[in-house]
Chain A
Amino acid sequence: MTPAAVAGMLAGLFLALVGSSLPLGTMYANIHPDYVALLVLYWAITSDRGAGYLTVWAIGLLQDLVVGDMPGAQAIALVFMVFVLYTGISRVKQFASWEQLFFIFALLLLERLAAWLWQGWSGVLPHWHLSLLVSPALGTALWPLLTFTLDHVYQYFHRPRT
């Protein structure tokens, strides 16, 4: 990755963390898409070298710390999501759009459930909430726009310099 791409990635991560922790009321907090997970997914799918598990874990931990969740929960959930992506459906990039959306939803749901279960295993299991389904659904709905935007950003940073 070029320094510009890394800077772009960090800026995206910053925005995703902002979006994940915006104090816009209970409803937003419950149903907003997991922007960080979406960003990580995009990165894991589009990056030539793939996303490093430790990096993903660090991003998840950062999200835990910023949002105030149980430290480590989101971290392992993100790693698990990327693990499933790489081991199970690594060819998601070649899928048709609707198939891709289906797997994106499945991955986001998996990540959400993993974080939920991890928190429960650690002793602070949150109540089952509809947001466990709504949030991945909204994230899936946001996926086309996100990929469109990030593709253009990626192309901007990788265009030939004259």
Chain B
Amino acid sequence: MAGLFFYRPVPSVLRLAALAVLSATVSFYSLHHSGLRIVGLSIARPVLWVNGEIRSGWAAVERYAQDMADLQRENKKLRKRILSLEKQNLSLPVLRSEDRQLLALLDSFPTPPGKVAVAQVVAQRLAPGSQAITVNLGNLQGVYVGQPVLAAGGVAGQVTETSPANARVALLSDRGSSIPVHPKGSGLPLLVVGTGNPQSLKIPFQPRNTPLRKGVVLVSSGLGGRFPPGLPVGTVTAVRRPVTSSFADIRVKPAASLETLDTVLLLWPPTRTRP
């Protein structure tokens, strides 16, 4: 047996040469006959079976990894969604605030004297020389020059310029603004004019012995036909009688917070209808 397995008797080189010849024979035989390969395939069956099982296991691992990757992708997508929703949540207080403003706006005028449209303030200029806002409604929505504009609490101003999509509103505090008013419960005709300060209006040309007192509420009188009567305009905050002047210095606090306007109501008085 030892000789058969080439352990010692035959020199190594001869054994190598003999096996090389044997290999060459096998190789050439297999090139022309497929029998050896078929036999080999039969012999390999257990190995191939194990390979198949391992391949199945590997495929399962790959599927698992794929599922994991899908889950991770979905997770990533959901995280983005959460981020987006959180951003929306951040804007919720703002929306609530706007909602409150609108409700306050509507509560200010339980029965608006005419048709109204809610407009968003898209621009604001509160310089001493010019107190104006720009809203997102214009000609196309029927906005016209001179149209009364209301805000939460009372009158805000009137439209001075229009474009198809926007309108500029001069606030009561604008130096060029004026509105006919009278004290609530009294027929005393007065004129409130702007001072360039959104927190303070004035009533010019009142005699030193004016009956106006601090705390008097002023409403629109309707004179001139531009503002409907009865709209809150402001409250007298100070009545001074300077010795150097013939007229009293009367200050009025606007009924609407003119410096913090986000939403306003455009009013179409009953006498004028929306085109």
Binding site for B on A (CB under 8 A): 14, 17-18, 21-24, 49-50, 52-55, 57, 61-62, 64-66, 68, 70-73, 75-76, 79-80, 83, 86-87, 118, 122-123
A67-B28 Cα distance, complex, nearest whole Å: 18
Chain A residues positioned under 8 Å from B28 (CB to CB): 122
- In the complex, whether B214 has a CB less than 8 A from a CB of chain A is no
A36-B30 Cα distance, complex, nearest whole Å: 22
Known: A72-B22, A86-B12. A21 touches B31 (CB 8 A): no
Decide if B12 touches A83 in the complex (CB within 8 Å).
yes
A54 partner, pick from B19, B29, B54, B58, beta carbons under 8 A: B19
A89-B191 Cα distance, complex, nearest whole Å: 118
What string of 1s and 0s marks CB contacts (under 8 Å) between B183-212 and chain A? 000000000000000000000000000000
Chain B residues positioned under 8 Å from A86 (CB to CB): 12
Decide if B6 touches A17 in the complex (CB within 8 Å).
no
Known: A14-B46, A18-B47. A72 touches B27 (CB 8 A): yes
Chain A residues positioned under 8 Å from B47 (CB to CB): 14, 17-18, 21, 66
Chain B interface residue count, CB cutoff 8 Å, equals: 35
Known: A53-B15, A57-B22, A122-B28. A22 touches B55 (CB 8 A): yes
Chain B residues positioned under 8 Å from A75 (CB to CB): 19, 23, 26
A126-B16 Cα distance, complex, nearest whole Å: 24
A132-B20 Cα distance, complex, nearest whole Å: 22
Known: A52-B6, A71-B30, A76-B23. A66 touches B44 (CB 8 A): yes
Stretch at the interface among B33-41, B74-82, B124-132, B233-241: B33-41
Residue of A nearest to B52 (CB): A23
Known: A118-B27, A122-B27. A65 touches B36 (CB 8 A): yes
A70-B29 Cα distance, complex, nearest whole Å: 10
- In the complex, whether B83 has a CB less than 8 A from a CB of chain A is no
Decide if A52 touches B5 in the complex (CB within 8 Å).
yes
Known: A49-B7, A52-B5, A87-B12. A18 touches B26 (CB 8 A): no
A61-B40 Cα distance, complex, nearest whole Å: 9
Chain B residues positioned under 8 Å from A61 (CB to CB): 26
Decide if A54 touches B27 in the complex (CB within 8 Å).
no
A21-B52 Cα distance, complex, nearest whole Å: 10
Decide if A73 touches B4 in the complex (CB within 8 Å).
no
Chain B residues positioned under 8 Å from A55 (CB to CB): 5
Decide if B44 touches A65 in the complex (CB within 8 Å).
yes
A54-B29 Cα distance, complex, nearest whole Å: 19
- In the complex, whether B24 has a CB less than 8 A from a CB of chain A is yes
